[in-house]
Amino acid sequence: QVTLKESGPVLVKPTQTLTLTCTFSGFSLSSGMRVSWIRQPPGKALEWLARIDWDDDKFYSTSLKTRLTISKDTSKNQVVLSMTNMDPVDTATFYCARTSNFHYYFDVWGRGTLVTVSS
């Protein structure tokens, strides 16, 4: 069974850096596999943030790329996202999701973690 689970702080202060970890099981980040981070402010649309591929290629949202860093630890089956200079407008549920077999749709999602930015 393929699962992904997001973990990290539930509350961060403005200007701080958010670090989230996606721990997955049931697959390895091997050939053709990719993991993305996606966020959703309360009551709003989904927004893709970043992606890391099995070969360590990395892609970022154009509007947020200066604030984002994505990395992977294949031995731990984890993907980590860092987002700098957090602001209250960044309050959102953050999801990690898998794409497989060289495709670009998200076939399995984590349950998401709500991160609130407030002083």
Partner 1 sequence: SYVLTQPPSVSVAPGQAARITCGGDNIGSKSVHWYQQRPGQAPVLVVYDDGARPSGIPERFSGSNSGNTATLTINRVEAGDEADYFCQVGDYSTEQVFGGGTKLTVL
Q: Which chain residues interact with partner 1 by CB under 8 A?
A: 36, 38, 45-48, 51, 59, 61-63, 95, 103-107, 109-112
* Min dist. Cβ of residue 14 to partner 1 (A): 26
Q: Which two tokens stand for residue 64?
A: 């947020």
Residue 60's identity, in one-letter code, is: Y
3-state secondary structure of 41: coil
Nearer to partner 1, 39 or 72 (CB): 39
Nearer to partner 1, 36 or 80 (CB): 36
* Min dist. Cβ of residue 75 to partner 1 (A): 26
| Distance, CA of 54 to CA of 43 (rounded, Å) | 32
* Min dist. Cβ of residue 52 to partner 1 (A): 13
Helix runs in 69-114, H state only: none
Nearer to partner 1, 15 or 25 (CB): 25
| Distance, CA of 2 to CA of 52 (rounded, Å) | 18
Size of the chain in residues:
119
Nearer to partner 1, 16 or 27 (CB): 27
* Min dist. Cβ of residue 23 to partner 1 (A): 15
